[in-house]
Amino acid sequence: MLRFMAIRFGRALITMFMVLVIAFITLRLSGTPFAMMFPEGITDEHQAALEAKYGFDRPIWEQFIVYLGDIASGNFGRSLYTSQPVWMMYAVRMPATLMVGGLALLLAIAIGIPLGAAAALYRGRASTSAGMGLAFLGYAVPHFVIGIGLILFFGYYLALLPATGLETPNHYILPVVTLAIPMIAAIARFMRAAMLDAIGHDYVTTALSKGLTDRRIARIHILRNAMIPLITVLGLEIAGLLNGSIFVEAVFSLPGVGRVLIDAVQGRDYPVLQFGVIAYAAIVVSVNLLVDLAYVVADPRVRLEK
């Protein structure tokens, strides 16, 4: 088990290192920022002086080490446009993203797991078939189409809910639901498949032969075993939340970090983009580690391996 976690941790470190390399290359390949800083052009002398000042004249590996040092000490650079420290640009917008994402995740788990479980246990019932049909829709249609559909229907046609911004609790409803729908669909579909798989296992027949009630078999023998592979899916979904929130924030004009990132891409604001990449990757890598840890706790076959 310790070995298992050590391997996973090592892999996470390698991944983060590769991310830093990619971020560094992106930053360097984009050229020196002087062209951006001095649109009217600068003299060669001036450029050479600046290069020396910022260390651009040193060998590339030395620059990489300096870069790693900067990052380790929390110095991620400043925006080429606003000169704000990049971490601050993200920090002020983080709460909105976290709030919407967190609520969506809770909603997706609360609906997706029971829906998928019910669909596996009560196949052929109209209610569960309808639920899975909707899940199928949610799985196939992208966030931005769902969002626009919801805005049109609840925001304008029924005029029940606010369509943009995050001023009141009501404002959260549409974005959270939009972000949650594809997750609900993915979780429900996976849960259904995992439950069906578990039902087909011999240990369920053994449980049946003990004279257990269907309820107990479902709870103790089917559900518990189906939940273990779900951990992986939840991990993927949490990582996918990052992708989804960019779209949802764009559709609903939310003050989240997604906008910062897209603006950085459009304006080629490399330091800003670079921080986003590193931060996102760090989150995903941590989530993956948590997933592995959860596996270790949940599955004795992993936990007790030497």
Partner 1 sequence: MTDAAFVHRGTGRWSFGVLHLSGLALALIIALGFMAPLIAPYDPNAVNLLNRLKPPVWLDGGSWAHPLGTDSIGRDLLTRCLYGVRTSFGIAVFGLIFSAVLGVALGLLSGLGGRWVDRSVMTVTDVFITLPNLLLLLCGITLLGTEIWVLVLMIGLVRWEAYARLVRGQVLTLREQGYVEASRALGSSRMRIALEHILPNLASPLVVILTLSFPGVLLMEAGLSFLGVGVQPPTPSIGRMIGDGRDYLVNAWWVSGVPSIVIATITLLFQLIGDSLRDRIDVRADG
Partner 2 sequence: MLEPMAEPILAARGVHVRFDTAAGPIHAVRGVDLDIHASETVALVGESGSGKSAFAKSFLRLHQPPFTTPRTHIEGTIVLSRPDGPIDLIALSDAEMRTARARDIGIIFQDALSALNPTKRVGEQIAEALGEASPDIRPKEANAMAVDILDRVGIPDAGTRSRAYPHQLSGGQRQRVMIAIAAIRSPQLLIADEPTTALDVTVQARLLRILKDIQVESRMAMLFITHDLTIVAEIADRVAVMNQGQIVEIAPTREIFGAPQHDYTKHLLASLPGRRLRPARGPKASRLSDNPLIRACGISVTFGSTMFRKAPPVYALKSVDLSVYPGERLGIVGESGSGKTTLGRVILGLQSPTAGTLRVGGRNPFRLNRDEAIRFRRKVQVVFQDTAASLDPRMAVGRSVWEGLDVHRIGEPDDRDARVRAALEQVGLNPEFASRFPHMLSGGERQRVNIARSLVIEPEILIADEPVSALDVSIQAQILDLLNALHDDLGLTMVFISHDLWVVRELCERVAVMKDGEIVETGQTEQLFEAPRHPYTRDLLGSVSSLPEIGAKINRL
Residue closer to partner 2 by CB (options 53, 210) is 210
Residue closer to partner 1 by CB (options 108, 150) is 150
Query: What is the rounded distance in angstroms from the CA atom of residue 300 to the CA atom of residue 302?
Result: 5
Minimum distance of partner 2 from residue 186's CB (angstroms): 22
Minimum distance of partner 1 from residue 193's CB (angstroms): 8
> What residue type is assigned to position 218 of the chain?
A
Give the residue carrying structure tokens 């990049």. 86
Residue closer to partner 1 by CB (options 265, 297) is 265
Q: Confirm or reject binding of residue 26 to partner 1 (CB under 8 A).
A: yes
Residue 73: name its binding partner from partner 1, partner 2, none (Cβ under 5 to 8 Å by kind): none
* Subset of residues 201 to 240 that bind partner 1, contact rule: CB under 8 A: 202, 205, 239-240
Binding residue (CB under 8 A) for partner 1 from 284, 291, 295, 296: 284
x-or-dash string of contact with partner 2, 207-226, rule CB under 8 A: xxxxxxxx--xx-xxx-xx-
Q: Confirm or reject binding of residue 6 to partner 2 (CB under 8 A).
A: no
**Which of 243-246's residues contact partners 24+ apart within 8 Å by CB, and which partners?**
244/104, 244/143, 244/179, 244/182, 244/183, 245/97, 245/100, 245/101, 245/179
Residue closer to partner 2 by CB (options 213, 243) is 213
Residue closer to partner 2 by CB (options 41, 211) is 211
Residue closer to partner 1 by CB (options 53, 210) is 210
Residue closer to partner 1 by CB (options 110, 140) is 140
Binding residue (CB under 8 A) for partner 1 from 142, 206, 220, 303: 142
Query: What is the rounded distance in angstroms from the CA atom of residue 280 to the CA atom of residue 295?
Result: 23
Q: Confirm or reject binding of residue 138 to partner 1 (CB under 8 A).
A: no
Q: Confirm or reject binding of residue 9 to partner 2 (CB under 8 A).
A: no
Q: How many other CB atoms are there within 10 angstroms of residue 133's CB atom?
A: 10
What are 257's two structure tokens?
């970090």
Query: What residues contact 50, with CB distance under 8 A and at least 6 apart?
Result: 32, 34, 42, 56
Contact 101, 176 (CB under 8 A): no
Stretch that binds partner 2, among 92-100, 116-124, 183-191, 273-281 (CB under 8 A): 116-124
Stretch that binds partner 2, among 11-19, 57-65, 99-107, 120-128 (CB under 8 A): 120-128
Interface positions with partner 2 (CB under 8 A)? 120-124, 199-214, 217-218, 220-222, 224-225, 228, 298-301, 304
Can you give the binding site for partner 1, defined by CB under 8 A? 11, 14-15, 18-19, 22-23, 26, 29-30, 123, 136-137, 139-142, 144-145, 148-149, 151-152, 155-156, 163, 193, 196-197, 199-200, 202, 205, 239-240, 242-243, 246-247, 250-251, 261-262, 264-266, 268, 270, 273, 276-277, 280-281, 284-285, 288
